[in-house]
Structure 1
């Protein structure tokens, strides 16, 4: 039988404890290093994320700037074209017919105020058959002109939200044109008994806009550019 003396045990126990403490110390150091690595990685990811966000924002700003410049160039081109047309009209003299018979002149457009009454879709087609479109209102001055000729009557105009968003028939962005809605309008009223809401716009009583059920039969206004 092996003999274990007290002196040998007293040597082994401190050695075991020393080894244990070294292991704990090494593990602690490794944990601290791992934590520092995680912190560094998170910091790098955050910096990369902020940089990416900044680049995306810059791209959006560049895109918006390019679109703004493009829209401005188109506006300038249209203004130049309009000025050339005005000069051409002046050169032709005061007797030059600006619009066809039955049409009224304002600016560089001709307007037809119908005497017959039709639903909005049929009115739209009538204008297209005349190589025109339902009137698109681009300014307060044009609105004043239409009020003068409407004589307190109600007419269809070229504005509809049949797909859920108000749009002009010629593609003019609705957001950039002035609005002349009457008080509480548009209200998409469904109590008319005709089914659905009100998805087509009118020049109501010759003054402001109102939304109406598109199958209602009323007069309409066509618009087309003058030809030279």
Structure 2
């Protein structure tokens, strides 16, 4: 916005410069006319007076024209200086804007690097006792580890799919939702050779597979082999993600986002 205003001012100054030059040219032409007229007047007057009076008249006219030209040149010089100053200010402002953008970009880059480091930071697996609400004070044994913005808890007890969902909720956790294929591959490298319930199930009313938070399945999976007629819950193992009857007893994976 400031640069646009400066450009407007430049345009006005340029117009004034052009107008000033035109005025000088006009004054020069006027001076010639005045000189001719004054010479004629003084010539006529000279017939009555003397040649000295004619010389004085001519010198006076020339002096007057020179004074006007001097003032116009002085005005033009001032306008040139103002134009140069404003141009320098504009260049300085543009340079400052570039520098500010560079500083903002560098700050964003550092913030992104910090976020990526946090995303890639993992902690080793440890045994934990989860304190849950139901029954009050009950402890649930699990193996826990954290990586990036998530902590994962592999429950040692086996339950049905609904049993896992409610146990995770009672422990202030959520049954696992896998965000992308990278997370899927990572988890398959971490878990034991067992089957674990995850938060993926088939919604019969919507006729589609979705996660526990109602978000759609976006993993690169071939679900054409899934049979939602009687297998409506999904489990995860080291080698596959597949569907099965929801009343089967498997281990659970709960998660907590940091």
Which of the pair is proportionally richer in helix?
Answer: 2
Which of the pair is proportionally richer in strand?
Answer: 2
Structure scoring higher RCO (CA < 8 A, sep ≥ 6) equals 1
Q: TM-score, normalised by structure 2?
A: 0.43
Q: Which has the larger radius of gyration?
A: 2
Q: TM-score, normalised by structure 1?
A: 0.48
